[in-house]
Every structure is written in structure tokens, then in C-alpha cells.
């Protein structure tokens, strides 16, 4: 479903395929965003064992 003002409507199907197959360049991230992503990764690495432990305890019927 495309919008009526979508510029890709003017392209032939082969042109659209060629245009969408081009990779996008990597985006430069600032320090704040990079720090946030690192902190999110640390959070996931800490949370996974806790969730896994709780899951195993629940399976074994522990309280």
C-alpha cells in the first residue's frame, strides 16, 4: 500500500528493484547515542541470565 504522493510510483518495477537493492551508507552516531546503545547491550547481557534463572526455577516448580 503506497501513498499517492510517493515518488517511487513514477518508477518502473525494474527501476524500483534496482533502487531498493542499493545498500544505505552507515550512519555516524554521536557519543550519546553510542553510549546509550552500549548501556542497552550491557542491560541485555545482565538481564538474560536473570530471566533464564527465573524460567528454570518456574519449570522446576521452585518458589
The whole-number average pLDDT for the span 1-20 is: 74
- For the chain, the straight-line distance linking the first and the last C-alpha, in angstroms and rounded, comes to 50
pLDDT of amino acid 24: 86
pLDDT of 2 higher than 90: no
Q: Indicate whether this model's pTM tops 0.75.
A: no
pLDDT band, residue 1 (cuts 50/70/90): low
Give pLDDT tens digits for 12-58.
888 888 878 888 899 999 999 999 999 999 999 999 999 999 999 99
Question: b/e per residue, 10-47, with b = 16+ CB within 10 A?
Answer: eeeeeeeeeeeeeeeeeeeeeeeeeeeeeeeeeeeeee
Amino acid at each position: 500500500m503506497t501513498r499517492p504522493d510517493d515518488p517511487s510510483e513514477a518508477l518502473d518495477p525494474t527501476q524500483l528493484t534496482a533502487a531498493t537493492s542499493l545498500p544505505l551508507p552507515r550512519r555516524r552516531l554521536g557519543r550519546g547515542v553510542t553510549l546509550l546503545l552500549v548501556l542497552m547491550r550491557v542491560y541485555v547481557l545482565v538481564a538474560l541470565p536473570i530471566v533464564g534463572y527465573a524460567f528454570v526455577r518456574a519449570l522446576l516448580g521452585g518458589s
